Structure 1
Amino acid sequence: MAEKTYTVSGMSCGHCAESITEEVVEVAGRTGVDVDVPAGRVTVTGEALGDAAVRAAIVEEGFEVTGAASAMPA
């Protein structure tokens, strides 16, 4: 299982976290999503995560992925 953390700008509240979570849970291969609004990070876990798909899901909700994904084995 892999874990990727994305730096995301524009998040300011719990609703932001909910909307990102709702969109990212639809990404194939995803097993978990954690949104840390104060830190500006979204961490996604799963098998064979498509980086472009995760980024697209975040952008679809109106946020900007400002940093490269950092990948770590989970």
Structure 2
Amino acid sequence: MSEVRFLVPGMTCGHCVNAVSTELSSVPGVETVEVDLETKTVVVIGARIDPNDLIAAVDEAGYEAVGLS
């Protein structure tokens, strides 16, 4: 399992959290998505996760992923 953390500074409400979570959950290999609206932090856990796929998923939701690690 691998864990990827990043910020999504554009999230401002529950709808934002749902949109980001839904898109990230559809990425192959993703098993768990944790989103904290207060800190605007996202943690994705899964197997063989491609960071480029995560960036694309957040972009598809209408937001920007920052500080992918």
Q: Is the TM value for this pair above 0.5?
A: yes
Q: Distance in 2 between matches of 1:9 and 1:60?
A: 15
Aligned partners of 2:14, 2:37: CA distance in 1, in Å? 7
Moved over 4 A (4+): none
Alignment of 1:50-69 (within 5 A): 50-67=50-67, 69=68
Q: Secondary structure at the match of 1:54?
A: helix
Q: CA deviation at 1:43?
A: 0.7
RMSD between superposed Cα atoms in Å: 0.8
Distance 1:66 1:5 in 2: 9
More strand by share: 1
**How many residues get paired?**
69
Unmatched tracts of structure 2, length 5 or more: none
Normalised TM-score (structure 1): 0.87
Residues 1-74 of structure 1 mapped to structure 2, 5 A cutoff:
1-67=1-67, 69-70=68-69
Structure 1 alignment gaps of length 5 or more: none
Deviation, structure 1 residue 28? 0.4
